[in-house]
Amino acid sequence: MAVMEVFAYAKLNLSLDVLERRPDGYHEMRMVMQTVTLRDKLTLETGTGAPLQMHSNLGFLPADEHNLAAAAALRLCREAGADPGGLSISLDKHIPVCAGMAGGSADAAAVLRGLNRLMGLGLSRRRLEEIGAAVGSDVPYCVGGGTALAEGRGELLTPLPPLPECRVVLCKPAFSVSTPELFKALDGCRIRRRPDTTGLAEALAAGDLTGVARRMYNVFEDVLPQRRYQEICAIKNSLIQHGALGASMSGTGPTVFGLFHCGEAAERAYAALRQQYQETFLVESAGTLMEKEV
């Protein structure tokens, strides 16, 4: 038997724009994505001699192919024609579930990277992204992580200059948001404001953290139910009042994050929000993942 530990890193949307609806029912997206150091740990074991087994520290998560980590393993083995001789996946989950941070997609991408190495498949990053696209829209980005422009369904990736060094405070309020309902709401209204994605990319190229923070925006914030919108705004305002250069919601929410130049200000913001919201985290930005693992 062979065993490997691999980490799955959360993502944030520095910007998120939804364009037209596609003939396949998906929407064209234009997003700037960023990896942060909040992470899950997965332990992969091949050669168990048993069918795929999936375990997690969270009992409510699915333990079969409905879990994206398991789905990714099955897809990889099928696409690569590889037989692991039995496979076990153990997930130690820390990224909040249904939080807009691609936790499930990050787990799936970590399994693709890990099994590629553990079984000596030698698949390229691009090939892993292609396999991941069949598992979930965010999986291709999560394969490599870092800072990137994501278009199409999220699978068309263009690397961007890295986010300047900063501290990041994440805060997930205690409610969930229906992704299908938010897309439906967007389809039924005129989007009044869009993120300056081009300007954000230029600020990244200039190493201008303040310029990045000032251009962060997520169009889904405009179609949140009113009560949820008010709570998201309250968290954003708290982050700004504690010194964040900018704050935004990630994905379809409800996690809100703020970027900080000053570590002390970030720590004060974290402490203040942690008193009210249990799932509050103080993290940093992270670079490209595959470069760290090879």
pLDDT at 293 over 60: no
What are the start-end ranges of the H helices in the chain?
Answer: 68-80, 103-118, 125-133, 139-144, 179-187, 197-205, 209-215, 226-241, 263-274, 289-293
* Fold agreement between 2-161 and 167-286: no
Q: What is the mean pLDDT of the chain?
A: 94
Read off the pLDDT of residues 10-31 as tens digits, 9 standing for 90 and up. 999 999 999 988 888 889 999 9
Read off the pLDDT of residues 35-81 as tens digits, 9 standing for 90 and up. 999 999 999 999 999 999 999 999 899 988 899 999 999 999 999 99
- 248, 218 contact by CB (below 8 A): yes
Instruction: Show me where the domains of the chain are located.
Output: 2-161, 167-286
- Give the pLDDT band (50/70/90) at residue 187: confident
pLDDT at 192 over 90: no
DSSP 178: -
Residue owning tokens 């069949």: 134
pLDDT confidence of residue 1: 79
Rounded distance, CA 126 to CA 88, Å?
A: 25
pLDDT confidence of residue 294: 40
Which residue would you say has higher pLDDT here, 293 or 273?
Answer: 273
Residues marked as catalytic? 11, 138
The strand pair at 279-286 and 167-172 is best described as: antiparallel
pLDDT at 290 over 70: no
Percent of the chain with pLDDT over 70: 98
Rounded distance, CA 235 to CA 42, Å?
A: 31
Q: What is the CATH number of domain 167-286?
A: 3.30.70.890
- Give the pLDDT band (50/70/90) at residue 188: confident
- 141, 251 contact by CB (below 8 A): no
Which residue would you say has higher pLDDT here, 167 or 291?
Answer: 167
- Give the pLDDT band (50/70/90) at residue 90: very high
Q: What is the CATH number of domain 2-161?
A: 3.30.230.10
pTM above 0.85, yes or no: yes
Read off the pLDDT of residues 128-153 as tens digits, 9 standing for 90 and up. 999 999 999 999 999 999 999 999 99
- Taking the CB of residue 274, how many other CB atoms lie within 10 A of it? 15
pLDDT at 84 over 50: yes
